[in-house]
């Protein structure tokens, strides 16, 4: 390419510096806030130097220790467990349903094939309320409202299209000859899928599952409509700190930091895969 | 040897589990359409048939058109800014040797966090009295009401949206830049093209498919925007940030007009479906090129 002039290089570094500050500042800010007491947080002008405290973390993890702020019960641990159950459950269901479907949609010819793939991604792109509102009524009839299984079914609208579309792009990379050789050896279709295909696309499969987990973890609107006191997720419980009256900023910040931390760590590992994952396999 | 790939029965057997879920969602959507033709509220849960009354109401509702207009301008602004910024950042990151991986890891962080939580963080920073943003930007003469004023609230949410999703555009375009062939650049150098001409006549045309993919996801994402608004302003002040999804939620759960809310959801669904179909066809054409 063109040899870059000093001027172009300068512009490039200014853009990067600005981007790094813009990206990191809010994350660092909330991290700092989680180690401040309520007085430091609401002080004007904002305090940059303060004595760090772990009170907020103790408050949300062990609310019984300090009774001072316990008039509001902190739903963090409960919400964390709910989120883990719902997110992992949804992704497991999606893998179970999606792996065979992705195989058929890549390798086989049959009527309606393209329509199925298109319908899947259409539901992903659909306004979530077009599905969540009718489910809200139907789930009440079926007693699935505010249950883990009900939420896992609803979450399929996000995780299943992602898993199927991504795995399709990975199945395309498995050489057909290997499968055919396995058939010649007398292995059946499912056996070949499990013993031949899956070991080859294992890294892609793992990364797809982790990304689907992230999508489920971050979702808010489905829980807002379909979950209740028994199944409240982290994204919902975070908002409940803001409720009426005085906002408890410290515990709010601490619970957000703990909810985000695993994702930020995973993202480093997921980096190489993210482009393909987030574009549903369209860009490699 | 058996030719599994040609037998429909095997294909449908493998697809069946996914088809069951698809049928569930389709039935849910058909139920939504049916609901929208009735007069169903949370207080009066009877599906009494009402014909197209709700759609007639939607089309004549100033609130609906107001929220449609807010959604459109929000989408145009956020997607444009994200594409321009994302492109600039991708160009800055491209062919950077040593620090590349670390910088890229930092740049994508906002994309990993739940949008609801990002929005709360920004809401705290945007507090007009004592928030860090006004404090830091004071030397530049900025003293904004941010989310608290009906004239700036929607653009404050747009700023949050830009913070969250610009990395998405950056990632996709970075992949495009990496896949650029070298020859056209050498040819353009021989022809005496300068950097701007090269960008206009070589880089942009080659990146077209990547731009379309990034735009597809972002256009649809912005048309459906809900989390960022709900977490910050819940549609206010007044109706200044009431996007279509927020209008649906408000009507259904605060206005107690569930079947009317569902009618708006059906309209939005159809609009998004048409756009999705168009953009996916564009994808396909680009792929076949």
Strand partners, B38: B49
Residue at B39 is within a domain: no
Q: Are residues A268 and A179 in the same domain?
A: yes
Q: Are residues A27 and A129 in the same domain?
A: no
How long is chain B? 289
Weakest-pLDDT range from A66-80, A257-271, B6-20:
A66-80
- Which has the closest alpha carbon to A73: A187, A199, A283, A237? A237
CA-CA-CA-CA torsion sign (A136, A142, A148, A152): negative
Residue at B2 is within a domain: no
Residue at A229 is within a domain: yes
> For residue A5, what pLDDT is reported?
76
N- to C-terminal Cα separation, chain A:
23
Separation in Å, CA B242 to CA A89, A174, B98, B184? 33, 47, 45, 47
Reading the block at residue B229, the tokens are: 């608004």
User: For residues B208 and A70, which has the higher predicted lDDT (pLDDT)?
Assistant: B208
Contact A108 B265 (CB under 8 A): no
Q: How confident is the model at residue A170 (pLDDT cuts 50, 70, 90)?
A: very high
Q: Are residues A35 and A102 in the same domain?
A: no
Reading the block at residue B244, the tokens are: 């279509």
Angle (nearest 5°) at CA B76 between B33 and B161: 85
Residue at A1 is within a domain: no
Residue B38: phi and psi, rounded to 5, are: -115, 180
CATH code where residue B236 lies: 1.10.3720.10
Query: Does the pLDDT value for residue B80 go beyond 90?
Result: yes
Query: CA-to-CA distance for B101 and B258, rounded, in angstroms?
Result: 48
Query: Does the pLDDT value for residue B230 go beyond 60?
Result: yes
Query: Does the pLDDT value for residue B215 go beyond 50?
Result: yes
Residue at B246 is within a domain: yes
| Residue with the two structure tokens 């395309």 | A172
Mean pLDDT of A79-96: 96
Its domain, for residue B97, covers: 61-288
Query: CA-to-CA distance for A128 and A136, rounded, in angstroms?
Result: 12
Tell me the residues of chain B between 181 and 220 that have a Cβ less than 8 Å away from chain A: 182, 185, 189, 195, 198, 210, 213, 217, 220
Min Cα–Cα distance to chain B from A157, Å: 8
Q: How confident is the model at residue A73 (pLDDT cuts 50, 70, 90)?
A: low
pLDDT tens figures, A109-162: 888 888 898 899 999 999 999 999 999 999 999 999 999 999 999 999 999 999
Reading the block at residue B166, the tokens are: 């610009």
pLDDT tens figures, A234-244: 999 888 877 66
Mean pLDDT of chain A: 88
How would you label B197-234 residue by residue, b for 16+ Cβ within 10 Å and e otherwise? ebeeebbeebbebbbbbbbbbbbbbbbbbbbbbbbbbe
Q: Where are the alpha helices (DSSP H) in chain A?
A: 6-33, 38-41, 55-61, 76-107, 113-125, 129-141, 148-171, 176-184, 189-192, 198-218, 221-226, 234-240, 249-278
- Interchain contact B1–A (C-beta under 8 A): yes
Q: How confident is the model at residue A52 (pLDDT cuts 50, 70, 90)?
A: confident
Query: CA-to-CA distance for A248 and B24, rounded, in angstroms?
Result: 41
Residue at B122 is within a domain: yes
Residue at A283 is within a domain: no
Residue at B125 is within a domain: yes
Mean pLDDT of A202-219: 94
Which residue is closest to A153 within chain B, CA to CA? B21
What residues have CB less than 8 Å from A132, skipping those under 6 apart? A154, A221, A222, A225, A226
Residue at B30 is within a domain: no
Q: Percent of chain A, pLDDT > 90? A: 52
Residue at A69 is within a domain: no
Query: Does the pLDDT value for residue A71 go beyond 50?
Result: no
Residue at A71 is within a domain: no
Comparing CB atoms, the residue among A19, A108, A282 nearest residue B11 is: A108
Q: Are residues A38 and A131 in the same domain?
A: no
Comparing CB atoms, the residue among B35, B89, B105 nearest residue A134 is: B35
- Which has the closest alpha carbon to B38: B283, B281, B266? B266
Residue at A185 is within a domain: yes
Residue at A121 is within a domain: yes
Q: Are residues A11 and A119 in the same domain?
A: no
Q: Are residues A176 and A226 in the same domain?
A: yes
Reading the block at residue A129, the tokens are: 């309320």
> For residue B187, what pLDDT is reported?
85
Q: How confident is the model at residue B191 (pLDDT cuts 50, 70, 90)?
A: confident
- Which has the closest alpha carbon to A85: A188, A206, A213? A213
Q: Are residues A180 and A85 in the same domain?
A: yes
Question: Could you check whether the bond before residue A45 is cis, i.e. omega within 30 degrees of 0?
Answer: yes
Reading the block at residue B164, the tokens are: 């969250």
Q: Are residues A57 and A198 in the same domain?
A: no
Weakest-pLDDT range from A25-34, A49-58, B5-14, B204-213:
B5-14
Tell me the residues of chain B between 40 and 59 that have a Cβ less than 8 Å away from chain A: 40, 45
Contact A241, A247 (CB under 8 A): yes
Three-state SS for B237?
coil
What's the structural domain count of chain A? Answer: 2
Query: Does the pLDDT value for residue A232 go beyond 90?
Result: yes
Three-state SS for A10?
helix
CATH code where residue A155 lies: 1.10.3720.10
Its domain, for residue A165, covers: 76-278
Residue at A27 is within a domain: yes
Angle (nearest 5°) at CA A173 between B214 and B17: 80
Angle (nearest 5°) at CA A154 between A148 and A155: 85
Strand partners, A160: none
Query: CA-to-CA distance for B213 and B287, rounded, in angstroms?
Result: 11
> For residue B184, what pLDDT is reported?
82
What's the structural domain count of chain B? Answer: 1
Q: Which of B109, B117, B252, B278 to probe by mutation at the A interface, max A CB count within 10 Å? A: B117
Residue B49: phi and psi, rounded to 5, are: -65, 135
Q: Are residues A40 and A98 in the same domain?
A: no
Strand partners, B49: B38
Residue at B252 is within a domain: yes
- Which has the closest alpha carbon to A253: A67, A86, A70, A52? A52
Mean pLDDT of B185-193: 82
Q: Are residues A142 and A52 in the same domain?
A: no
């Amino acid at each position: 390419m063109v040899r870059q002039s000093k001027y172009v290089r300068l512009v490039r570094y200014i853009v990067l510096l600005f981007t790094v500050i813009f990206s990191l500042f809010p994350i660092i800010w909330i991290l700092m806030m989680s180690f401040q007491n309520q007085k430091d947080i609401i002080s004007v002008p904002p305090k940059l130097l303060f004595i760090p405290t772990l009170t907020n973390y103790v408050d949300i993890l062990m609310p019984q220790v300090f009774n001072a702020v316990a008039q509001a019960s902190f739903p963090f641990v409960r919400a964390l467990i709910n989120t883990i159950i719902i997110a992992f459950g949804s992704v497991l269901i999606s893998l179970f349903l999606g792996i065979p479907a992705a195989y058929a949609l890549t390798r086989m010819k049959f009527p309606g094939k393209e329509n199925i793939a298109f319908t899947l991604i259409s539901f992903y792109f659909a306004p979530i309320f077009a599905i969540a509102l009718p489910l809200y009524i139907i789930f009440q009839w079926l007693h699935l409202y505010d249950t883990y299984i009900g939420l896992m079914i609803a979450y399929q609208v996000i995780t299943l299209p992602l898993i199927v579309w991504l795995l399709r792009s990975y199945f395309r990379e498995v050489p057909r000859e290997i499968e055919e050789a396995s058939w010649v050896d007398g292995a059946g279709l499912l056996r070949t899928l499990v013993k031949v295909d899956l070991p080859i696309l294992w890294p892609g499969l793992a990364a797809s599952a982790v990304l689907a987990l992230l999508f489920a973890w971050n979702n808010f609107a489905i829980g807002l409509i379909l979950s209740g006191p028994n199944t409240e997720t982290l994204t919902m419980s975070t908002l409940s700190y803001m409720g009426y009256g005085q906002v408890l900023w410290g515990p709010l910040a601490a619970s957000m930091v703990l909810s985000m931390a695993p994702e930020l760590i995973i993202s480093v590992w997921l980096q190489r895969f993210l482009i393909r994952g987030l574009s549903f396999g369209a860009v490699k | 040897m058996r030719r599994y790939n040609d037998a429909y029965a095997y294909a449908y057997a493998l697809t069946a589990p996914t088809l069951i879920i698809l049928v569930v969602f389709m039935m849910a959507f058909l139920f939504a359409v049916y609901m929208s033709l009735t007069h169903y509220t949370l207080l009066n849960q009877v599906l009494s048939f009402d014909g197209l009354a709700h759609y007639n109401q939607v089309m004549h509702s100033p609130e609906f058109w107001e929220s449609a207009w807010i959604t459109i301008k929000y989408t145009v602004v956020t997607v444009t800014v994200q594409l321009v910024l994302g492109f600039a950042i991708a160009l800055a990151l491209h062919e950077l040797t040593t620090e590349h991986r670390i910088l890229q890891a930092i740049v994508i962080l906002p994309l990993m966090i739940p949008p609801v939580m990002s929005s709360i963080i920004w809401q705290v920073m945007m507090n007009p009295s004592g928030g860090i943003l006004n404090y830091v930007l004071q030397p530049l003469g900025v003293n904004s009401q941010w989310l608290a004023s009906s004239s700036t609230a929607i653009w404050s949410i747009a700023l949050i949206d830009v913070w969250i999703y610009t990395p998405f555009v950056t990632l996709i375009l970075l992949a495009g830049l990496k896949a650029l062939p070298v020859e056209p650049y050498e040819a353009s150098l021989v022809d005496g093209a300068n950097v701007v001409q090269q960008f206009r006549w070589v880089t942009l045309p080659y990146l077209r498919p990547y731009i379309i993919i990034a735009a597809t996801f972002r256009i649809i994402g912005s048309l459906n925007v809900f989390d960022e608004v709900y977490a910050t302003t819940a549609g206010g002040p007044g109706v200044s940030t009431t996007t279509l999804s927020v209008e649906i939620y408000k009507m259904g759960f605060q206005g107690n007009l569930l079947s009317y809310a569902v009618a708006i959801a059906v309209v939005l669904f159809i609009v998004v479906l048409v756009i999705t179909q168009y953009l996916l066809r564009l994808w396909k054409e680009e792929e076949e090129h």
